[in-house]
Amino acid sequence: MTENLIAATYPSMKKNDLIVIGGAGGFIGGSLTRYFHNQGFTHIRAIDKKPLPMWYQITEGVENLNMDLSEKVNAVKAVEGAMEVYNLAADMGGMGFIERYRVECLRSILINTHLLEAAYNAGVNRYFFSSSACAYNIDLQQDPNVRALKESDAYPANAERGYGWEKLLSEIFCQEYYAERSLETHIARFHNVYGPNGTWDGGREKAPAALCRKVIEAKDNGSLKIEIWGEGTRTRSFMYIDDCTFGIDQIMHCEKLIATPINLGTSEIVSVNELVDIVEEIGDVKLQRTYKLDAPKGVAGRNSDNTFIKSILNWEPNTPLREGLKTTYTWIEQQYYDRKAGKRTVHD
């Protein structure tokens, strides 16, 4: 894991400089809030449109605001006095969500548009945008044995409908605000982030959490069966949350990465069937598999080419999938049985 690595945050930043994190009620935003708090920053403004009781994590000592950043007036209020702004706010989820709710995904561009303009007018020093591997040309992702995607593979543009196009256009906004208005922006293309304190049911969860939950359910109800979306051969790489937060910090504070999209993901590619194998091993169970072939399943293959990030940062996300999944499985299992016992969980 990454807990023992040294934070990359600018030495010139004061611990009471204001850091603003949009989407802080979500999985990655909440984890990033806690990450900076643990680094000793005392002035963090965390913002999400979800009511506070629905936030995945709430960090003590942080200014927590319930605001919809797609509204211009809220974006202006959010960045007042900020030194740095991290935009992780978006309507998104796993493949089941982004294929069914493309309009909602596209509307997230309002968040980035208003937040960028507000940050520029407020004199913010640095602005971070959380992009996605969904911005890559889907023509390059039609084979499970896909070659790893390098940053230039986003063009010629043919992103995933809805979510992918919102990310790609928002990247351009970030690049042009730097080119024309000198607002320092940083852009990371996330590849499938997973870990504790994330979505594990309800339709927005991604494959690692969904499969952990399904294995736990199958063991608990005695069915010993699991339904897999698709044919099980599609491939992805998955990045553990600690690698993600540390990577965001490094990318935001690297002068060589201003207005330059960069992959943030692991290069450890697995098929869905292989992912199930790992979760079954963690759960000490073997399940009968059925395949829902008409379920949302996304592109055939996607993996992160980490040549660029290693050349710039001399680092890449490196938590082994099996290690990260074990921690994630344990957390979801606790959530599952807490809910069954009538206790509150992050989704209740």
Active-site residues, by number, are 163
Report which secondary-structure segment, H or E, holds 128.
strand 126-132
* CA quadruple 118, 260, 95, 2: dihedral sign: negative
Q: Map tokens 């023992």 to a residue.
A: 4
* CA quadruple 273, 202, 103, 163: dihedral sign: negative
* CA quadruple 320, 322, 328, 330: dihedral sign: negative
Contact present, 66 and 24 (Cβ < 8 Å) = no
Listed residue (49, 17, 12, 336) closest to 200, CA to CA = 336
CA gap 131, 244 in Å, rounded: 12
Listed residue (186, 76, 179) closest to 130, CA to CA = 186
Q: What number of residues does the chain have?
A: 348
Report which secondary-structure segment, H or E, holds 63.
strand 63-66
CA gap 199, 193 in Å, rounded: 11
> Strand, coil or helix: what is 233?
coil
> Strand, coil or helix: what is 91?
coil
Close Cβ partners of 31 (under 8 Å, ≥ 6 residues apart):
57, 195, 197, 241, 244, 245
CA gap 149, 319 in Å, rounded: 20
